[in-house]
Structure 1
Amino acid sequence: MNCLRVGTGPTLVLVHGFLSGLTYWEKQFELFSTRFDVVAFDLPGYGGKAHEVGLDSVEGFADFVLAKLDALGIDCFHLIGHSMGGMIAQEVAIKAADRVAGLVLYATGPMGALPGRFEPIKESIRRAETEGTAQVASDTVKTWFSDGDEDPDYFEGMELANRVSTQTYINGLKAMDGWSSVDRLSQIKAKTLVLWPDSDRSYMWEQEETLWRNIGDTNLAVIPQAAHNAHLEKSPIFNLLVLDFLTSEKVKARRLAITG
């Protein structure tokens, strides 16, 4: 199953990140579907589509998302993007500015080279090319949880990461490394929430502050004592923040302005 659609209400699209898949949202589906028409799908090369070779550009992933939504007949939507998925979500919100009502940019940033990451992207690419992905993927996924490989969700995260081919792994890193939205953030029209776990080792505060200060209509929320996958390790807090934002009067007004 490469696409899940559940619930009723305004459409909410969930875009997963690097080495992940739609099942990464399992702690959000039940609650979010009580308020929204929730849509999630595996990106090419990941999850149930790991047999495909992943794309090597954020723009290409954004085009994939928009084509998928067009095929589903979805015009106006809310959008959440996590990590690399947050980069894709920014690109979607720029390409289709008049279709995105509420935007949640979670544990992500506008600088694809990921300054301050636990290890430079080019070093991860070098390791993947010379050693394969087993160890470098494990080193990466460990940083996504406060308790590393002792977190109960680590093993499912590794199961998804281990599906990803070496070429998809390299392509994903190259897609991020060659991308930036810093000079285009003002083109995002959606009401936006920047959501940052304060112990994230992939996206430092510089990234979040740049989003917060350069997108026109933006709020900021910080989840304390949480790492990159806060939606898993602190799901009640994450879910409450997202629902509170997406059901706010300003986001409702933005959606009504789009839909007429």
Structure 2
Amino acid sequence: MTNATTYFDHGSGDTLVFLHGFCESKDVWTEFAKPLQQKFRTVALDLPGFGDNTQGIADYSMESMADYVKTKLEELGVKKYLLVGHSMGGYVGMAFAEKYGSMLNGLCLFHSSALPDTDEKKDNRNKTIEFVEKHGVEKFMQSFIEPLFYSENRDRLTKEIALMKEIGTNTPKESVTGGLAAMRDRKDRTDVLAAAKFPVLFIFGKEDGAVPLDKALEQCHLPDNSMVYFLGKTGHMGMFERTYETRKTLEKFVETIYG
């Protein structure tokens, strides 16, 4: 498979497409996806505004990002696939499911949600936008990254935290503020989950401040066909905090779809 700076594309077989979260890039999936490439074609994209995909971005909305994903996958000749979205990537996945659900064999919401921001969360997004405008991206990353990991996991994941900080610090300020506003303004897509004609896998961390347990429980029963995996002592970054368990769970889910 070809490889380019705004995506990676490795392996062959049924296709798994990975979408990263806010202030992340395709690189968060590099090590996670490697063992899967023995069985599947794995594609990971830099979403508009992030990673190496930062040129000429006018619209950071989840809908616009979903359109980008569709167009890019068409360029790569991928017709149907299982979409795995971490955090903001899951929000994009939900927008994609609403617009292009017939292209999905399945969807994994990886520490993500179909619910909209609460009023409190919207207020926090606005405050964060103001902070980034005033103090810059690097200062924001100093306090943003570590709390994504459960406190007991941080000492053993210093390399992963450093990677996240590097990716985040290299994100343009316009992408940070644009992404925050787009997440703030995204709509409720629980109706999309309820109407899904494809199976859905939910992966939640019990110590995840971004997707609290009560919010997880509000939505995981909605699809006709869903699998749910709750991880103890895990925050928002299961691909790093519990790599083996989350990968094996995804593999089992894929097997129920592709056999």
Q: TM-score, normalised by structure 1?
A: 0.89
Q: Where does residue 16 of structure 2 map in the other structure? A: 12
CA distance in 2, matches of 1:114, 1:221: 24
1:168 lines up with 2:172 in the alignment: no
| Aligned residues of 2:94 and 2:192 also touching (Cα < 8 A) | no
Q: Deviations over 1:98-124 (max 9, x none)?
A: 11112111101123426776x821221
Whole-angstrom distance in 2 between the partners of 1:56 and 1:17: 13
Summarize deviations over 1:150-187 as a string: whole Å, max 9, x none: 43211100000011111110100111110121343323
Residue 70 of structure 2 corresponds to 66
Structure 2 counterparts to residues 77-156 of structure 1, below 5 A: 77-113=81-117, 120-147=124-151, 150=155, 151-152=157-158, 153-156=160-163
Verify: 1:252 aligned to 2:230, yes or no.
Answer: no
Shift of 1:67: 0.7
Distance 1:130 1:10 in 2: 46
1:208-258: CA deviations, max 9, x gaps? 22331222221211111111111112101111111011112xx237xxxxx
Does residue 223 of structure 2 align to residue 215 of structure 1?
yes
Aligned residues: 250
Aligned residue identity for 2:67: D
Is the Cα–Cα contact under 8 Å of residues 44 and 53 in structure 1 kept in the other structure? Answer: yes
Q: Would you say the 8 A contact 1:94–1:187 is kept in 2?
A: no
Q: Which ranges of 4 or more aligned residues in structure 1 deviate by more than 6 Å?
A: none
Q: CA deviation at 1:207?
A: 2.9
Secondary structure of the equivalent of 2:183? helix
Alpha-carbon distance, 1:51 to partner: 4.8
Distance in 2, Cα, partners of 1:115 & 1:198: 23
TM-score relative to the length of structure 2: 0.89
Q: Residues of 1 paired with 2:120 and 2:205: CA distance? A: 15
Q: What SS class does the counterpart of residue 91 from structure 2 fall into?
A: helix
Q: Equivalent residue for 1:188?
A: 196
Residues in 1 aligned to 2:58 and 2:169: alpha-carbon distance in whole angstroms: 14
Identity among equivalent pairs (%): 22
